[in-house]
């Protein structure tokens, strides 16, 4: 067996081990809160938020703006935080003055079972994290 074939085989085994870990390992986060920030200057907030019961099931509303903002029936004053816990899976629409269409849909999912569902969940979280990374130029 040539060196190239050994490297390909080693990479395939590593990839399979990584996928098996992602599908079977328990879900853990350092905190159960997902930050939802009202940035300075009235920057629009996302129109949809995903939470997972038992993993990340608390929406932490932070107002970093100079004006108060409304999220559902909660008015978040400047410089303040509000924790909104969820205990049931489902879709929850909230009125929000900075969201597209003045509405944020909070989707709360059940904790995924080990296997394909957990692998899909991890991949979706990875892609959402990459999609929402802040864009910064080289001089910033």
Note the pLDDT of residue 140. Answer: 60
Pairing relationship of beta strands 58-63 and 33-38 according to DSSP bridges = parallel
- Give, as one character, the DSSP assignment of residue 113: P
pLDDT of residue 128: 80
What token pair was written down for 56?
A: 């990340």
Residue 46 has a pLDDT of 85
The pLDDT of residue 130 is: 85
The domains of the chain, with CATH numbers, are 33-111 (2.60.40.420)
pLDDT per residue, tens digit, the chain (140 aa), is 788 899 999 999 999 888 888 888 887 777 788 888 888 877 888 888 889 998 889 999 999 989 999 999 999 999 999 999 999 999 999 999 888 888 999 999 998 888 888 888 888 888 888 887 777 767 76
Per the rule left: phi > 0, alpha: psi between -120 and 50, beta: everything else, 129 is: alpha
């Amino acid at each position: 067996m040539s060196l190239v074939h050994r490297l390909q085989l080693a990479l395939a085994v590593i990839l399979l081990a990584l996928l098996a870990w992602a599908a079977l390992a328990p879900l853990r986060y350092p905190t159960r809160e997902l930050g939802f920030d009202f940035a300075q200057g009235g920057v629009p907030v996302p129109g949809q938020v995903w939470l997972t019961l038992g993993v990340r099931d608390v929406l932490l509303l932070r107002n970093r703006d100079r004006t108060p903002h409304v999220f559902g029936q909660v008015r978040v004053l400047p410089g303040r935080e509000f924790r909104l816990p969820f205990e049931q899976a489902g879709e929850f629409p909230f009125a929000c003055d900075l969201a597209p269409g003045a509405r944020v849909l909070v989707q709360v999912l059940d904790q995924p079972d080990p296997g394909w569902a957990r692998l899909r969940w991890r991949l979706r979280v990875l892609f959402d994290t990459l999609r929402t990374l802040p864009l910064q130029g080289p001089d910033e």
